[in-house]
Amino acid sequence: MAVDAIDPDALVLELFATDEGRSDPYSRYLSMRSLAPIHQSQSSKAWYLTRYQDCKGVLLDPRFGRGSEVGPDRFGGLAGEEVTQKRQELSRSSQQNMLFSDPPDHSRLRNMVSRAFTPKRIDALREQITKLVDPLLEDMVSLGSVDALEALAFPLPVAVIGQLVGVPPEDWASFRTLVRESTAMIEAFPTVESLERGDRAMATMEEYFRDLVKVRRQNPEDDLLSAMIAVEEGGDRLSGEELVATAILLFAAGFETTTNLIGNGLLALLQHPDQLMRLRGDPGLLPTAIEEMLRYDSPVQIDARTALEAAEVAGHPVDAGTYVITFLGAANRDPAIFDEPDSFDVGRVDNHPLSFGWGIHHCLGAHLARLEGEIVFGRLLDRCPSIELAGSDPVWRQSVTLRGLEALPIEIGA
């Protein structure tokens, strides 16, 4: 079929609603960027953007925000009336965090926690993170055959952010399923059942953090949760619900995206043995390699915005209340910005992917995720001269907004 005969709405639906589209979004992005790089859906009236500068422009434009007052379905009802109604019913108080807010609330919430994520404070965690990585690698080597997600990509990030926020180690493992189920709330094409599971997971996390807040009020520790409680008790800058919602966001986002960075990045290296060998031979490429992993297969593929007032998208007028979906994964492979965008190059320079968003909602934990990635891959390649994929092709999670693997079986040797 000729490119100009393809319906862009059909491509969007294929990307969001089929196993094939979710497993391989990049061929769909390529078709959309070639056919309709700035596309308004005929059904949902939402706009879909696939070019780097268009996506970045919307993320930077203060006329586009989270628009929480418009409603929780930021995909314009794409999944149908039943799902849209269920989203409305399950809209939770835990959306009172910086991810779903606009200024001035967003600025207030972000400023409250941003001091814990400055580059200087994060760099000071290098030795602590290394001490967490090494025992995990020793266990992997002793086993020989492991699931890299189970053995490394999940336990490391959850330990780092767990210690930073103040979640006790004995509780970390229980959050993996809870967080994964809760992400249905930010997917474009969930089922009613997955939304209900996500709502129950969110309720469980809210109850957990309310109880943990009570404990920290009585026995504060040197962690971010105790620091937020001190702010809340000192005035009216933070409500109790905002405290719980922000704690959940920091903890959940702190390991979910980094887990996918490690998993997606390791898969890319193993599928490109020439680049793996190149990185082994020159560990100084680690910073550019991590940036390339983020660009090549971004842990976050979509960032949605709402027009808070009448605006325009790449010259197209947009009414207030209109949804705009930026495909970050597509923008990161825009040939107008990146040479040979479908190639994986650990030495790529002048590389600025949109994987952590842009503008006021740029991910607070971006520097921490990069540092964890550098340490993980540096120690992994130094400790393990033999790493190979095991079994059949890895299976991708059936989600679009957050992209990651179900498992990554590998054979590893000292």
Domain boundaries, the chain: 3-413
Beta strands in 103-198 (DSSP E): 145-147
Q: How many CB atoms within 10 Å of residue 82?
A: 11
Residue 116, pLDDT score: 83
pTM: 0.93
CA distance 67 to 308: 6
Q: Is the pLDDT of residue 300 over 80?
A: yes
278 is written with which tokens?
């190149």
219 is written with which tokens?
């026995």
Q: Is the pLDDT of residue 387 over 60?
A: yes
Q: What is the mean pLDDT of residues 313-331?
A: 94
At 151-210, the pLDDT tens digits run 999 999 999 999 999 999 999 999 999 999 998 888 878 888 988 999 999 999 999 999
Residue 146 and residue 412 in contact, taking contact as beta carbons nearer than 8 Å: yes
Q: 3-413, which class in CATH?
A: mainly alpha
Residue 92, pLDDT score: 54
Report the mean per-residue pLDDT for the chain.
90
Q: Which residues neighbour 312 within 8 Å (Cβ) at sequence distance 6 or greater?
A: 318
Q: Which residues neighbour 352 within 8 Å (Cβ) at sequence distance 6 or greater?
A: none
Edge-to-edge, what's the strand order for the sheet holding 145-147? 145-147, 409-413, 386-389
CA distance 385 to 388: 10
CA distance 307 to 321: 5
How distant, in Å, are the alpha carbons of 2, 185, 224, 298, 403 from that of 27? Answer: 15, 26, 41, 15, 15
Q: Is the pLDDT of residue 80 over 80?
A: no
Residue 231, pLDDT score: 77
- Is the Cα dihedral 122, 125, 126, 131 positive or negative? negative
At 224-270, the pLDDT tens digits run 999 888 876 555 567 778 889 999 999 998 889 999 999 999 999 99
